[in-house]
Structure 1
């Protein structure tokens, strides 16, 4: 993987916030802007200001001229517009990316730090193909009949897209610092058949040894804070550009919410610190994962186990393809 490019989705949001600020500073309404520059639809400006569309640098240049932006700001925002709109290089790194996975991949791109917690699942950036496929299939069974799948939205493509996202953890250059708190229940018998869980545990053992990855297992009977119970899965993203706001993503099973509002984001950061404090340390977590893998090996039919009893990997290793080689 090449060095991290700026997050496309954050570039769009950053540009949109700046364009709205400049419009308001110029004392113009959205309708007045549309009338003066002759755009056919008011929704075009709304989509730009809300970061919901890929910007055309020519459109951005017209707006900046109307708002009277100075030369330095004009140059900066046109550069951001170019990064937000040019997806060719980004898509080249993710040739199998589906629409569902693309929004997450765009958010993760350019991150310098990712913190994640999930009460019932292994986070997507840590999943094996078998675990990911099982999770996608079980979710689709619940949503069966809700509508036709999008073109190319088959199970295998969706799994490949999730695996493509994981490459950022194994990047040689500027890989983000990644910390996750995993509930013990996410790796219990309810999560899947023994062979799938065994493979997932082996991968977690390997990932835990990467210098940029820190994993914590939260045991089921360990209290958090003053008996606090986290109500939902969440992730916090911090970006290389300090002017790109930290972003909170809250997973709700069948819908996701993203926010850059400071107050709720700081609340979730406090919760994450509580979770890390309550959970096993990184070294204790690796020992727990190795022991759990060894116990599960006995339950897996020999034909499905290709790597023997679980032992601690002797070295950190990276490769340019999948996270692990088996």
Structure 2
């Protein structure tokens, strides 16, 4: 079972924010800190403050000595430093993990709330084994044709790593509140054969019934706000500890970008609000998922099975409001 405590990547960011705050409170520039401590590299402090390197405990002690930090805060930050560097210990909580999946697993650990949108896929935390295999194997075919020597080396391990992340939604204690907006096209005929889609729809129905999971289906012809079109998939992460920085992850197909910048976060929060307003309500989404699964099984009622959408026009919600492959 994945841990409820924050992962190393989040601990690094928290430590970096605290170290920057302490330096600024001490009235020191980065160059002055480097000179006082005697570090050879001027980029060392920058990497620490931006959470981009594994912190060395002695380096952190040197900084805390320079900033004259009291014992209580010192003990807290040294504890965070240990957590930020204990990658192997943290990974022992997962039956399988890969580098591609680890970055997201580290973000998801310790979350109080996760909000996700993907314009073409079912998000990774909701995927079945079959759906995940379709997504990963088809994406790796692109890598192979592009000349990536590691493409397709171990698809099974990649799938197991993705599935290992999912148990945080169903754990007994401290499960995060999870909300996702699913595009209708993510469950359409282009996404996979009927048996794969049928299994995926059934799993979504089960997850939608959980008290911590809220799913919204966005029908293909429903406008968002004032005809807004979200250009990318994105995820928003809020953590149990309010001092841990909220994080935005933007998926760009083959490149992912992560940010804690407040304005960027706020923009995507607005977009997610618009998406939820435009999409079907949670109860209507469950009905849509159930009827779609029945239609694939050949058991849907005639009035439901007819036409392009599983949901009748009267059940569509109008907008009342004005984001790689995982």
Change (3 A) 1:102 1:3: closer
Contact 1:8 1:109 in 2 (8 A): no
TM superposition shift of 1:45 = 2.9
Secondary structure of the equivalent of 1:93?
coil
Structure 2 counterpart of 1:231: 231
Greater CA deviation, 14-23 or 167-176? 14-23
Contact 1:55 1:84 in 2 (8 A): yes
Alignment of 1:172 with 2:172, yes or no, is: yes
CA distance in structure 1 between the partners assigned to 2:153 and 2:175 by the alignment: 28
Secondary structure of the equivalent of 1:143?
helix
CA distance in structure 2 between the partners assigned to 1:147 and 1:27 by the alignment: 48
Count of paired positions: 298
CA distance in structure 2 between the partners assigned to 1:229 and 1:113 by the alignment: 24
Contact 1:3 1:174 in 2 (8 A): no
After superposition, give the CA deviation of every residue in 1:233-279 in whole Å (9 maximum; x if it has no partner).
Answer: 11111000101121111111111111111112112111111111111
Secondary structure of the equivalent of 1:276?
helix
Structure 2 counterpart of 1:302: none
Alignment of 1:148 with 2:145, yes or no, is: no
Greater CA deviation, 212-221 or 47-56? 47-56
Contact 2:3 2:109 in 1 (8 A): no
Alignment of 1:52 with 2:37, yes or no, is: no
CA distance in structure 1 between the partners assigned to 2:277 and 2:8 by the alignment: 33
Tell me, which stretches of 5 or more residues in structure 2 are unaligned?
300-326
CA distance in structure 2 between the partners assigned to 1:221 and 1:213 by the alignment: 25
Contact 2:22 2:67 in 1 (8 A): yes
Alignment of 1:18-97 (within 5 A): 18-97=18-97
CA distance in structure 1 between the partners assigned to 2:26 and 2:126 by the alignment: 47
Alignment of 1:128-147 (within 5 A): 128-144=128-144, 145-147=146-148
TM superposition shift of 1:35 = 4.4
Structure 2 counterpart of 1:307: none
Structure 2 counterpart of 1:191: 191
Length-normalised TM-score, structure 1:
0.85
Structure 2 counterpart of 1:182: 182
After superposition, give the CA deviation of every residue in 1:193-216 in whole Å (9 maximum; x if it has no partner).
Answer: 111111111111111111110111
Greater CA deviation, 2-11 or 207-216? 2-11
